[in-house]
Amino acid sequence: MNTRAAPPLFEYVLRFADSDLVLAQRLGEWVGKGPAIEEDIALTNVGLDLLGQARMWFAYAGEIEARHNGRGRSEDELAFLRDGPAFRNLLLTEQPNGNYADTMARQFYFDQWQRLALDALSSSRDSRIAEIAAKAVKEVAYHVERSAGWVIRLGDGTPESKRKMQAALDDLWMYTGEMFVPDAVEIGLIETCTAADVRNLRDRWLSNVRVVLDEATLSVPGGAWMQGADGRGGKQGIHTEHLGHLLAEMQFLPRAYPGLQW
């Protein structure tokens, strides 16, 4: 579809769009299966926020694409008609739901990162990015409270909930590295004050995570090896085996019935 290489700004905006969309889809998988009706509703509402944010990013990505090569894809085309390697979401967001501790650990790491990243982006030189980020960060502030609250309740809960919460945090730890490693796409945009310099966010993220884990009587995982932190991860379109399955479910309808209207 694209004859010229996508501009860095398109790539960058797509990363936020895709992380939001993929995590929203994961949260949507909980619909009707939550452990209590309040949780079912809450997970869906967090997913809905992320889907709304994804739409704002996709709309902007489409406009950037149109400026670049004359035709920009619609939100739906970007969401439903790209294959796995074209997705730019963080590896963390595509990890399966697992048990409730797994879902909350994934959300907690992501929420803590997203809040810092959006906060930094709300002063981006790119006014559209700044507007979307300033809007989204208010929603994410609630997401952080919620996921941190669950990490504390499960961690400082029963022996079984504590064991599961710690295991979930440990299992997902290796997917948190790539969040703080900028690649060439990001570096160029950091230099023009367009992108958030994620290198500066790591210490704050870690200290925010640590405060919650301390209160939860849990330990900060210690593994040093990080998946995708070598520049071959989700942001570059190299995914874990889970993304394809997620896309198969998410994209089936619009691909089987092209142009179908609701």
Partner 1 sequence: MVMTGGQANAVASAPSPDAMVIEHAWQALGTVADPEIPIVSIVELGIVRSVRLAGVSLVVEITPTYSGCPATEAIASAVDDALNARGISSKRIETRLAPAWTTDWIAPEAKRRLREFGIAPPHVAGARVCVAGISPLRRMAQVACPRCGSTRTHLVSQFGSTACKAHYRCHDCLEPFDHFKTF
Residues that bind partner 1 (CB under 8 A): 38-39, 41-42, 45-46, 48-53, 55-56, 112, 127, 130-132, 134-136, 138-139, 141-142, 144-146, 148-149, 152-153, 204, 207-209, 211-212, 215
Closer residue to partner 1 in complex, CB, 141/229: 141
End-to-end CA distance of the chain: 26
Q: What is the nearest approach in angstroms of partner 1 to the Cβ of residue 2? A: 27
Closer residue to partner 1 in complex, CB, 134/181: 134
Closer residue to partner 1 in complex, CB, 51/226: 51
Q: What is the nearest approach in angstroms of partner 1 to the Cβ of residue 217? A: 14
Q: What is the nearest approach in angstroms of partner 1 to the Cβ of residue 143? A: 8
Q: What is the nearest approach in angstroms of partner 1 to the Cβ of residue 252? A: 22
Closer residue to partner 1 in complex, CB, 54/243: 54
